[in-house]
Amino acid sequence: MLLRTTAGIVTCELLDPRQLAFSRSRRSARTALDSLSVPSTIGAALVVSFEADSERDALRFCRTALDRVREFHQFVQLAEPTCEPEQLARIARFRQIVVSGLYSLGSGPRPVAALEDIGVPAEELPRFLSEIQRLLRNYDCAASYLVHVLTGQVHTRPFVDLANPADRAKLWAIAEEAHTLAVRLGGTISTQHGTGLARTPWVEKQYGPLLSVFRELKQIFDPKGILNPGKILGPDPRFPAWPFRTSVLPPAPEQVAPSEEAMSSPSSASPSSSEEPTPAPTPTTARRVPLLMGPESWAESAASTCNGCGDCRTRTPPTRMCPVFRALGTEAATPRAKANLFRHMLSAGQDGTPLSFHDFREVADLCVNCKMCRQECRAGVDVPKMMLEAKAQDHAERGFERTDWMLARVEMLSALAGNFAFTTNTLLGNWPTRWLMDKLFGLSRHRTLPRFTHRTFLRRARRAGLTNRARRGQGVEMLGLSPRDSTFPIAPRLAYFVDTYANYNDPLIAEATVAVLRYHGFHVHVPRRQKGSGIPAFAAGDAETAREVAAHNIRILADLVRDGYTVVCSDPTAALALTQDYLDLVDDPDTRLVAGHTIELTALLWQLHEAGRLHRGFRPLSLDLGHHVPCHMKALRAGTPAGPRLLELIPGVRVHTIDKSCSGMAGVWGLKSGNFAMSLAAGQPMIDAMNQPRVLFGSTECGSCRLQMQQGSGKRTLHPIQYLALAYGLLPELEARLLRPLGTLITD
């Protein structure tokens, strides 16, 4: 209580040793801990903040508190008193990572928020913490603590396995004694997070006779009991008194292929997990075959899936989480609903309630594979991977609907459209044709589509000799480097993996990429037989087609990497496919080799800049750009996006970074007529930022985001590499492109 007597303190939080220990097991957390020089031997940490009328007074208060504590205790000072925003952000990140470290534990005993919100008078904190630890030892149970010292709030999380009936019974007994102790000390069973279902059984213990008054008020204002049934005034008789969810851990799926009948029957429901021997699988008893995960990973995913905390329902601007939830606001759109869908798929049939096609699609179709929930979930739950697995299982059993089949094969259709580009573009720019395509194929007639070209980039590359491989060391000679020059960050020979959009719709992206890289002395090789990334098929659930495409590309690229090439991608989705998604599809050494030698284009150029080797001979461009950061760029986990910083190097260019939301396009998802309005709603924050008067043109690395930006704002949008090529004077024709009006139904 010494700190409470010190002026200026407004928060004081105690982080216990278990939180620090679990945080150190996560790589991202270790980075944050090391940035503050947190020793591995630290037993606990206090995070204290001060407020005052001036920075000087706040710093004085802090130093006074440190001096007073030193008089009584030996401690390690983890951070100097500061009012600097950057240092404050580091401390806040340290606190956030340590607290969220417990969420990432896998199967077995996990921290449960059963005693999450207890509060006692601050002067009773030592006694309460001592008693609660004795109580937990009596039940042979460990726990983690987060203590708000000034207000006496204690977030106690016992480690129990909810799938174990003995642990569940133990948890009830612990909660009964802990809440009794809090009330006896003059505290409360609920302080910060509300009463809810978890603390309802102990409301009567705290309020006693007043509970009858609560019931009378409830009867007056909610006679039908439709508002929060079962909360505060007693458990809902339809549910258990303490409705904690049991973790689902079904038996590992057998490696048995579904029968032809199961694959073709439109009424196939989720397979049963009955253990009775059967002569052959049927539509209701076929075992699921893991397509992306092994049987052990399936079981692990079920056990370590989300704890239902609801953080994914956030609408806070700094986070993106789920763009579809932000647009719809329904529970079915939340990442936790998708995790629950995966859990239910694993257990479907055990309780006689198989999952219907409608129920599955109602949730699964709301996952657009933006990967933001994986990026921002405190528990590290990989919901996108679960949904890819779920969609793959559904596709294996039921096949595709017409629109999904078409969009999953966008690479094949783009190649066909390019062969007849003039006819294709004429038809796509015609209202009656678009109306017919909407009705027949579900392709939105309101979506502005990209123009196709017969002279695809791969055709241009063959004519320009870019598909010829260099002899070993050729790039080094061009750069004037020694083959062992350790100051150069990237191998001088690059293999360019071209995305579908740059190949079939806007080859000037690829031409700008090659021109800028060659301008810096790189030898650029364009593999002639490469295919698109296959991600549209993967995202739709056609894992087998995506696996074939991945294996094809890996064979080509792995050979180049072994020959000394680095793979470069101008599209973040393509980079994400090579570095992350292909590892789920083709698990072999070549895939890992390619993943370890692939880099996104703007990240490569920024490394050149940091090494002092990026040419700065830009001609001035008087442009105000709104640069949207794509979700897949953030999912690459490459730190601060390099695109805006590269554009700011061009004289006269003013960059307004737009990192407010997903664009809402989500690859081919936004092309569907049923998703058009939802797509615009999901990307509305980004569109609003683009519509600011100060923004004249757009910039983004993602082709599909570009379509949405142009559709929502009517402002021409280019890839950052195109602006760089224009500033270098390498592609002057881009200046005319900037000034050309956009089309309504089709645009270049």
pLDDT at 567: 96
Mean pLDDT of 238-257: 50
Least confident of 276-290, 292-306, 405-419, 538-552: 276-290
pLDDT at 109: 80
Mean pLDDT of 743-748: 89
- In which band, very low, low, confident or very high, does the pLDDT at 579 lie, cut at 50, 70 and 90? very high
Percentage above 90 pLDDT, the chain:
42
pLDDT at 397: 79
Percentage above 70 pLDDT, the chain:
81
pLDDT at 72: 73
Contacts of 429 (CB under 8 A, 6+ apart): 743, 745, 746
Q: Give the helix/strand (H/E) hosting 731.
A: none
For 562-573, the pLDDT digits (tens) are: 999 999 999 999
- In which band, very low, low, confident or very high, does the pLDDT at 746 lie, cut at 50, 70 and 90? very high
Tell me the three state secondary structure of residue 248.
Answer: coil
Amino acid occupying residue 556: I
- In which band, very low, low, confident or very high, does the pLDDT at 224 lie, cut at 50, 70 and 90? confident
- Please tell me the distance from the alpha carbon of residue 82 to that of residue 84, in angstroms, as a whole number: 6
Task: Print burial letters for 318-328: b (CB count within 10 Å at least 16), e (below 16).
Answer: ebbbbbbbbbb
pLDDT at 205: 86
Ordered structural domains, the chain, with CATH: 3-104 (3.30.70), 110-221 (3.30.70.2740), 260-275+282-399 (1.10.1060), 450-476+489-747 (no CATH)
Least confident of 198-212, 604-618, 676-690: 198-212
Mean pLDDT of 212-231: 87
For 498-550, the pLDDT digits (tens) are: 989 999 999 999 999 999 999 999 999 999 999 999 999 998 888 889 999 99
Model confidence at 73: pLDDT above 80: no
- In which band, very low, low, confident or very high, does the pLDDT at 291 lie, cut at 50, 70 and 90? low
Question: To the nearest whole number, what is the mean pLDDT of the chain?
Answer: 82
- In which band, very low, low, confident or very high, does the pLDDT at 104 lie, cut at 50, 70 and 90? low
pLDDT at 245: 59
Contacts of 540 (CB under 8 A, 6+ apart): 391, 395, 400, 404, 407, 408
Mean pLDDT of 112-139: 90
For 587-626, the pLDDT digits (tens) are: 899 999 999 999 999 999 999 999 999 999 999 999 999 9
Tell me the three state secondary structure of residue 358.
Answer: helix
pLDDT at 131: 94
Nearest to 156 by CA among 138, 129, 180: 129
Model confidence at 1: pLDDT above 60: no
Mean pLDDT of 254-278: 35
Task: Print burial letters for 226-264: b (CB count within 10 Å at least 16), e (below 16).
Answer: eebbbbbbbbbeeeeebebeebbbbebbeeeebbeebbe
Instruction: Map tokens 């970074």 to a residue.
Output: 657
pLDDT at 105: 63
Q: When comparing pLDDT for 746 and 34, which is higher? A: 746
According to DSSP, residue 581 is labeled I
Q: When comparing pLDDT for 456 and 381, which is higher? A: 456
pLDDT at 280: 36
Q: Which residues pair with 13 in a beta bridge?
A: 47, 148
Most confident of 36-50, 155-169, 289-303, 472-486: 155-169
- Please tell me the distance from the alpha carbon of residue 220 to that of residue 233, in angstroms, as a whole number: 14
pLDDT at 117: 85
- Please tell me the distance from the alpha carbon of residue 304 to that of residue 248, in angstroms, as a whole number: 9
Number of neighbours of residue 589 by Cβ within 10 angstroms? 8
Least confident of 72-81, 221-230, 734-743: 72-81
